[in-house]
Amino acid sequence: MINVLCEKIKKLNAPIVVGLDPMLSYVPEHVVKKSFEAYGETLEGAADAIWQFNKEIVDSVYDLIPAVKPQVAMYEQFGVEGMKAYKKTVDYCHEKGLVVIGDVKRGDIGSTSAAYAVGHLGKVQVGSRTLSAFNEDFATVNPYLGTDGIKPFVDVCREEKKGLFILVKTSNPSSGEFQDRIIDGRPLYEWVGEKVAEWGADCMGDSYSYIGAVVGATYPEMGKVLRKVMPKSFILVPGYGAQGGKASDLVHYFNEDGLGAIVNSSRGIIAAYKKEPYAKFGPEHFGEASRQAVLDMIADIDGALQAAK
Ligand SMILES: O=C(O)c1cc(=O)[nH]c(=O)n1[C@@H]1O[C@H](COP(=O)(O)O)[C@@H](O)[C@H]1O
């Protein structure tokens, strides 16, 4: 799947991923109203609203982008109905030819990680049948438990030709509390980055490992160092847009081949219609607002990469 991701990025000249993080407050009133009329003010009504919202956004942008990243928490808050909307979203994005990065941030002791890996990336044995549950192409994983928490995910990825993005340096303000602590003379995030490179070393696609990393856009100096620590790891870069990351900050996350990183924006794209300069589209045309925001993001990142050459 890492090869597919690289090919799509090259073909579209768009190293970006649209984060499908649908809070109910981002869904325009006319969409919510319709879902509530059909299902009432219930968890099912909310789940239907976020699914209808996602569908229109995906229909509006799928031809411009290689991948989407649904964030499971936004669905999970609506319980089982929300998780059904998550699964519908994953399947619909696949129908549209998109690579799906399940932002599930899992990771536990080995046996539990194995179950997470099977549920999200692999197949589960049910009597005589082998069935897919969520079936995303990549998953985000938390490495805090160490190698035996990661290995079951790597094993499933190898078997299924899927991939991981492992948290190395996160974009949030408190990420330094632990991640920047100096251990044996080096920050923890560097140790984790080195480990990601090691875990991914025998998991190579054509040019990149399918065991990738997450490094936030909000720490560009650290991103520059981590690019060198993990030269073959694809880096998922969240934090562009709503969290303040700028295109010029991101150029060092890429390798000289122009690949090696994929930049996420969630709120900046899906809630574009709520803010300038996209408010002119109005809530009725939120999909068109998202499309324009995607076009602008692609041009912004391309401009920064060209300027850095
Ligand atoms: O793993 C992630 O995707 C992630 C890691 C990180 O360090 N920071 C981060 O913001 N994310 C996710 O990326 C998305 C960012 O959303 P926006 O800030 O709206 O673009 C959310 O789904 C976060 O959960």
179 lines ligand 1 (CB under 6 A): no
Give the span between the Cα atoms of 52 and 48, in whole angstroms: 6
Q: Is the peptide bond preceding residue 15 cis, with omega within 30 degrees of 0?
A: no
Q: For residue 209, give the CATH number of its domain.
A: 3.20.20.70
Contact by Cβ (8 Å): 141, 156: no
pLDDT at position 309 is 82
Task: Give the chain's domain count.
Answer: 1
Structural domain of 216: 2-308
Q: In this structure, are residues 165 and 101 in contact, taking their beta carbons and an 8 Å threshold?
A: yes
Quote the pTM value: 0.97
pLDDT at 34: 98
The best mutation among 54, 69, 103 to test binding of ligand 1, ranked by most ligand atoms within 8 Å of the C-beta, falls on 103
Sign of CA dihedral 103, 105, 111, 112: negative
pLDDT in tens, 235-270: 999 999 999 999 999 999 999 888 999 999 999 999
Q: What is the pLDDT of residues 68-108, one digit of tens each?
A: 999 999 999 999 999 999 999 999 999 999 999 999 999 99
Percent of the chain past pLDDT 90, that is, above it, reads 98
Instruction: Report the pLDDT value the prediction gives residue 164, as an integer from 0 to 100.
Output: 98
CA of 39 to the centre of ligand 1 (A): 30
Residue 213: pLDDT above 90?
yes
Cβ of 238 closer than 6 Å to ligand 1, yes or no, is yes
| Residues marked as catalytic | 105
CB hemisphere CA count around 52 (13 angstroms)? 18
Average pLDDT, the chain: 97
Q: Is 103 in the pocket of ligand 1 (CB under 6 A)?
A: yes
